[in-house]
């Protein structure tokens, strides 16, 4: 395994002795198995690190692609929705338009269309999986 402090000499000795490292480890609630403490970033080039890093990078790319696909699918469902609530095939789309309580009271008293007379309100869409 190759572990080398960045920006430093690999042959340089660490100013902390093992007793100090164990004391620091105990205070930091780290495993006592730590026998060396490197200050600063460390460049890893061993195979285990390479494999784990490659798996993480691929998982991250897959996650980002899945999130983008979810957004596109949601937009497709919302575009197809013509009513305030539609459901089927294990998915429900809820559209809502809300106003302040004052707007609703005035509309009831006057018998008027809220959108036309009191603004457009707050529009929201929620897509959920039915279980």
What's the pTM value of the predicted model, to 2 decimals?
0.53
* pLDDT at residue 2, as a whole number: 46
Q: What is the mean pLDDT of residues 91-108?
A: 74
Q: For 21, which DSSP code?
A: H
Q: Which token pair is 43?
A: 């460049």
- If one compares 120 and 63, the residue with the highest pLDDT of the two is 63
Q: Which of 54, 56, 34 is nearest to 46 (CA)?
A: 54
User: Do 118 and 99 contact (CB within 8 A), yes or no?
Assistant: yes
Q: What is the mean pLDDT of residues 22-42?
A: 58
* pLDDT at residue 21, as a whole number: 46
Q: How far apart are alpha carbons 63 and 53 in whole angstroms? A: 15
* pLDDT of residue 67 exceeding 80: yes
* pLDDT of residue 80 exceeding 90: yes
- Lowest-confidence pick of 18-22, 57-61, 80-84, 114-118: 18-22
Long-range contacts of 115-123 (CB under 8 A, 24+ apart): 121/97, 122/97, 122/98, 123/95, 123/96, 123/97
Average pLDDT over the chain reads 75
Cα–Cα distance list, 34 to 10, 15, 44, 46, 125 (Å) = 19, 16, 17, 19, 51
* pLDDT of residue 82 exceeding 70: yes
């Amino acid at each position: 395994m190759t572990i080398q402090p960045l920006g430093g000499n690999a042959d340089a000795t660490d100013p902390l002795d093992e007793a100090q490292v164990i004391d620091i480890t105990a205070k930091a609630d780290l495993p006592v198995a730590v026998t060396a403490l490197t200050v600063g970033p460390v460049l890893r080039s061993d195979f285990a690190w390479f494999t784990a890093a490659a798996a993480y990078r691929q998982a991250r790319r897959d996650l980002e692609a899945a999130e983008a696909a979810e957004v596109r699918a949601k937009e497709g469902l919302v575009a197809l929705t013509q009513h305030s609530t539609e459901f089927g095939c294990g998915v429900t789309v809820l559209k809502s338009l809300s106003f302040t309580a004052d707007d609703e009271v005035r509309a009831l008293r006057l018998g008027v269309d809220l959108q036309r007379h009191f603004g457009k309100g707050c529009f929201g869409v929620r897509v959920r999986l039915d279980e």
